[in-house]
Amino acid sequence: AQSVTQPDIHITVSEGASLELRCNYSYGATPYLFWYVQSPGQGLQLLLKYFSGDTLVQGIKGFEAEFKRSQSSFNLRKPSVHWSDAAEYFCAVSPPGGGNKLTFGTGTQLKVEL
Amino acid sequence: EAGVTQFPSHSVIEKGQTVTLRCDPISGHDNLYWYRRVMGKEIKFLLHFVKESKQDESGMPNNRFLAERTGGTYSTLKVQPAELEDSGVYFCASSLQQTTEAFFGQGTRLTVV
């Protein structure tokens, strides 16, 4: 069965510092990959997605993620974090070919220190 | 354009009672999904509607949960009778097609005491 692992439950970074959130997946084939963010009181918002092609994908709010097939990873990065980035981040996969039956990781709570 | 709206935002009920959660998808979105996040765990898929039909209900935990989408517009998720382990945040999402982006609501936080 497919699974998604986000090894970091909480991460604290200083404003202006770089950020990397880790995500590893287990799947029989290369799934479609997603990162979502949930800010307090808000729904889940799609940051970016990877289906195929260029393994470095750009998303909204200055985020990017890199797909590494050999490591079954899809880590999220941002060069300089803003205080408004404090939120919970979820990595998710769906079966190859798409569809919105998503398998999520447990989430990483990001705290930003001013 | 209004997003996905869920009612109520919070609900606290006693064990054994019934609760009904409602989801209003984005207008025109035929696909509607329910997910649940139990405290500290991952968000899990419950089921998927295409219009009024259940396309996939493989994630429904047991027969105490009943989802409906009469007329293919809004959906309800009823839990009857509620148990302590049903506590969590219930998310609804909708998409235009099965392969296009799913937009999520803000969730309903259900607490069973």
pLDDT in tens, A35-81: 999 998 888 999 999 998 999 999 999 999 999 999 999 999 999 99
Q: pLDDT grade, residue B70 (50/70/90)?
A: confident
Q: How many CB atoms lie within 10 A of CB A93?
A: 24
The domain tally of chain A equals: 1
List alpha helices for A1-108, DSSP H: none
- Cβ distance A43 to B3 less than 8 Å, yes or no, reads yes
B48, B106, B107 ranked by CB distance to A101: nearest = B48
| Sequence-ordered strand ranges (E) for B14-52 | 19-24, 31-37, 43-50
pLDDT tens for B14-64 read 999 999 999 999 999 999 999 999 988 999 999 999 999 999 999 999 999
pLDDT for position A98: 74
Out of A42, A101, A106, the one facing B41 most closely (by C-beta) is: A106
CB-CB under 8 Å, A44 with B99 = no
Look up tokens 């959130």; give the residue: A21
Please give the CATH number for the structural domain made up of B5-112: 2.60.40.10
Residue A29 sits in a domain whose CATH number is 2.60.40.10
Chain-chain contact of A100 with B41 (C-beta, under 8 angstroms): no
* Inter-chain residue contact A101 with B35, CB threshold 8 Å: no
Q: Where are the domains of chain B?
A: 5-112
Asked if B78 and B19 touch (Cβ cutoff 8 Å), the reply is yes
